Amino acid sequence: MTIDPEKYGDTDQQRAMADTLADYGNAPDSFWQGTRDHDVSQNIAALLGAVEGEAPYAILDFGCGPGRDLKRFIELGHAPVGLDGTEEFAVMAREYSGAEVWQQNFIALNLPPARFDGVFANASLFHVPSAALQRVLTELRDTLKPAGVLFASNPRGDNQEGMSRGRYGCFHDFETWRDYVLAAGFSEISHYYRPEGQPRERQPWLATLWRK
């Protein structure tokens, strides 16, 4: 995908995303084997429990990877669409889940307006450089129906960002992350830390829920 620098940020942002996608694409099967059995049922339940109205729900699985959670949403009776920037993952997700999957770079999105009841961003938005984050969050808000819900789970930290083991990551604390999402026009529903039942120092994941 060719990215317009005037619309989608400077070359550093583009390079960060390109390097991250290339790293995932270098070993897609290894990533799949390492993540296919991860239990994110708490996160899926949190999103579905916050969506208003009658099911089935239209869900955008943002950063769907090889399709683990896409398939689970289908099994639960919903209508998910996957989105991933890595071509190899998009192919795998279509084959594994049978769902529609869009291949789009996270910093060059092309999303339909008011299409989804919920956006499920599990371990994906932390790859977006902070300079592009508010714009990306605004685009996710705009693809939600009125009162739609955004779920995001990210590894937390002390607001550092940069390349780590071949991938770009932003590791925000809750207060900083909240500022970004509120500035994009969301209202806060709730947040929690994962994995469940552990002391805070052993809970590296921050899960948050937001309403349009």
**Phi, then psi, of 59 in degrees rounded to 5:** -120, 130
Would the pTM count as exceeding 0.75?
yes
pLDDT at site 10? 64
Is the pLDDT assigned to residue 151 strictly greater than 50? yes
Is the pLDDT assigned to residue 5 strictly greater than 50? no
pLDDT in tens, 196-207: 889 899 999 999
- Sort 128 into a burial class: Cβ within 10 Å, 0-12 / 13-18 / 19+: buried
Q: What is the mean pLDDT of residues 76-96?
A: 97
Q: What is the mean pLDDT of residues 151-177?
A: 95
pLDDT at site 2? 42
pLDDT in tens, 183-199: 999 999 999 999 988 98
Please report, rounded to a whole number, the percentage of residues in the chain having pLDDT higher than 70. 95
Cβ within 8 Å of residue 41, ≥6 positions away: none
The answer to whether 103 and 87 are in contact (CB under 8 A) is yes
Task: Name all domains of the chain by residue range, CATH numbers in brackets.
Answer: 5-211 (3.40.50.150)
pLDDT in tens, 93-148: 999 999 999 999 999 999 999 999 999 999 999 999 999 999 999 999 999 999 99
Report CA-CA distances (Å) from 1 to 20, 85, 145: 14, 9, 27
What confidence category does residue 12 fall into, taking pLDDT thresholds of 50, 70 and 90? Answer: confident
Is the pLDDT assigned to residue 52 strictly greater than 60? yes
The answer to whether 59 and 38 are in contact (CB under 8 A) is no
**CA dist., res. 70 & res. 179, Å (int):** 29
pLDDT at site 86? 96
What confidence category does residue 30 fall into, taking pLDDT thresholds of 50, 70 and 90? Answer: confident
- Cis-peptide, bond into residue 204, ω within 30° of zero: no
Q: What is the mean pLDDT of residues 85-97?
A: 97
The closest of 68, 55, 148 to 101, measured between CA atoms, is 68
**Phi, then psi, of 47 in degrees rounded to 5:** -65, -55
The CA dihedral of 188, 71, 96, 80, to the nearest 10 degrees, is -60
